[in-house]
Chains A and B, each alone.
Chain A
Amino acid sequence: MTDSALRDLFHDAAPSLDGPGPAAIDRAWRDGTRRRVGARVAVVGSVAATVAVVTGVALVGGSDGRVAPDPSVDAPTSTPTPPVTGPPVAEQVGKYAGADVWWAPSVTDESSLPPLSVAQLPPVVDLDAAQEEAVGEPVVGLFSGRGERAFALTASQRVIEIDTSRLETLTDEAGNRRNPLSSYSLSADRQSAFFIQKSSLEVLDFVTGEWTTIDTPDWLAEEARWMMPDQIWLPSRLGDDSGGTIHPVGPGVTTTATIDWVRGWSGPDDQPWGPVVFGRGGTAQAAFAGLDLVSPTRFAAPEVIFVDQRGERSVLAFDRGPGEEGTRVKGCCIPRAWIDEDTVLFSSVSTEGQRILAWDVGTPTVHLVSDIRGPASLTALADLS
């Protein structure tokens, strides 16, 4: 038999469906139009709130075949308008490589951002109040502390310190001590996490509390990723993000596999780093940007988050701050998850503390989702989209 026989069977098995098509289509048009108008009102409001104090975006050229900046577009030319009273917003300041560039609100403005309620995330994640007990349920977020300390925010919003006593002290190949959790540690079904060891992965099933050991060549566990709820991929060598092996969690055979992991976008002089967060909205990744945002009050070459929504690109740039109170740390801002197709969550770490913020991509709206308190940093968040 051939593909065509299976196709025929699919077509035979397709249900015969009758339904209220015209009414449903009318409703879709009305609802879709309403959403579109709502989004446009938000954007118009944001443009009015933008004050063109930024002197411009110096575009960095490149001819190595990577994404090329669009030199024909520059800073917005709309007439500056007086600032309006209201919550802090991101400011659109120009274009880079065809993408709209926005300055994120400053660190000192973060606490005044409008709150956004995300069902799975409490307004405050208090790791100081964590209990050391069995997890017993799926996990939404993982946090890494000093040494091997690890914390979990569960689906029911309990905060738990995970018993990691079975883990050994971990250093990287260069001898630097590191936490055994990575940005990729949490499985997509939220039921398991892997912990990196020098020569193995230790996998904890949160629901059953059982640990499974997967032996690995030295150091390679550092770059492990989940393939399926019961399969973990390891690169053949550090830095190789396509060729590798797939290891079953539990019984099964190891197989070799070349995986084209989803990648983010970046310009020719950018240094993308950290996890590529992939969800319903698209991709997002942090970078040290090559774009030279010139501003009387801000540093050039800021840290950024590059977002790609099915080809529509945006950049959220972060000012480090004045170097004292209200200063972001290096590697401050990392995308963590999508909550729908328009909103990406990112963590922000500064002298003011740790927060989870949300950006309605391509708009001035930035929300405060959660404050994180206590002795650990957000390391992995489930896809919430």
Chain B
Amino acid sequence: MEQQPDDRESFTAWATTRRPRLLRTATFLTGDRGRAEDLVQEALTKVAQRWPRLRDGSPDAYARQILVRDNISWWRRNRLELVSDVPDPGRTAPGDTGVERRLLLLDALRRLTERQRAVLVLRYFDDLSEAEIALVLGVSAGTVKSTAHLALRRLRELAPELSDLLSLETS
């Protein structure tokens, strides 16, 4: 577990590759760019703190776990003054149905519970399996499955225009 001379180098290489993705995940989770950057910074710091143990293991999984759990903790502490921004959906021209669908998705995501949103983001953006999501959230795979089902159902209610995308079958 001792620090090796190349630890900083290997951490920097890992973080440089992963930070943009983590930032996108965190922006989905929080709906707020500034808070996403704070979340990612804290996650990277915690990974750095444990790098001698994590470097040969799963730093990605640990970083995602910190992102999701810190976000839920933040929300619990601040739920009475929760303010969310919808991230910029992109630069496509107005009237583009693609833009409308992105806005619908982001707006609907914002209205889910933190855990529901986390399950969908980890599944459909980060492409994690149910077992991997369960590890991140600290719940069983069964709970992930039922949460995903509820989240998709809620998403259908909030954004019926996207119902063609929102199959309730979760596999």
Contact = CB atoms under 8 A, between A and B. Distances in A.
A29 B48 contact: yes
B76 A188 contact: yes
A154 B106 CA distance: 35
Interface stretch (A9-17, A56-64, A284-292): A9-17
A3 B124 contact: yes
Interface residues of B, number: 58
A17 B24 contact: yes
A259 to B, nearest CB: 7
A189 B90 contact: no
Interface string B95-121: 000100110011000000100000001
Given A12-B90, A24-B19, A29 B98 contact: no
- Chain B CB within 10 Å, residue with most, of A13, A26, A385: A13
A17 B23 contact: yes
Given A6-B165, A32-B51, A259 B44 contact: no
Contacts of B41: 24, 27-28
Contacts of B12: 25-26, 29
A26 B50 CA distance: 15
Given A35-B45, A189-B79, A15 B24 contact: yes
Contacts of B70: 280
A10 B125 contact: yes
Contacts of B28: 10, 14
B158 interface: no
A189 B72 CA distance: 11
B41 to A, nearest CB: 6
Contacts of B24: 14-15, 17
A12 B98 contact: yes
A22 B146 contact: no
Contact of B89 (A13, A32, A36, A257): A13
Contacts of A259: 140, 142-143
B15 A262 contact: no
A216 to B, nearest CB: 21
Interface in B111-141: 113, 121, 124-125, 127, 138-141
Interface in A5-45: 5-7, 9-17, 19, 21-22, 24-29, 31-33, 35-36, 39
A383 interface: yes
A19 B102 contact: no
A257 B47 CA distance: 36
B81 interface: no
- The contact size tier of chain A is 35 or more
Contacts of B48: 28-29, 31-33, 36
A318 B167 CA distance: 52
Interface string A232-270: 000000000000000000000000011111100000000
A262 B8 contact: no
B11 A29 contact: yes
A13 B102 contact: yes
A274 B38 CA distance: 36
Interface string B37-57: 100110011111111100000
Contacts of A25: 11-12, 15-16, 19, 44
Contacts of A16: 88, 90
B102 A2 contact: no
A258 B90 contact: no
B45 A1 contact: no
Contact of B50 (A21, A22, A36): A36
19 contacts: A9-B101, A12-B101, A13-B105, A15-B24, A15-B89, A17-B23, A19-B23, A21-B19, A26-B12, A28-B15, A28-B44, A32-B45, A35-B49, A39-B49, A260-B143, A262-B139, A278-B138, A280-B70, A310-B65
Interface of B: 3, 8, 11-12, 15-16, 19-20, 23-24, 27-28, 33, 37, 40-41, 44-52, 65, 69-70, 73, 76, 79, 87-90, 98, 101-102, 105-106, 113, 121, 124-125, 127, 138-143, 146, 162, 164-167, 171
Given A3-B167, A29-B48, A33-B3, 13 more contacts: A10-B105, A10-B121, A13-B89, A24-B19, A25-B11, A27-B45, A31-B45, A31-B49, A36-B3, A190-B76, A257-B146, A259-B142, A260-B139
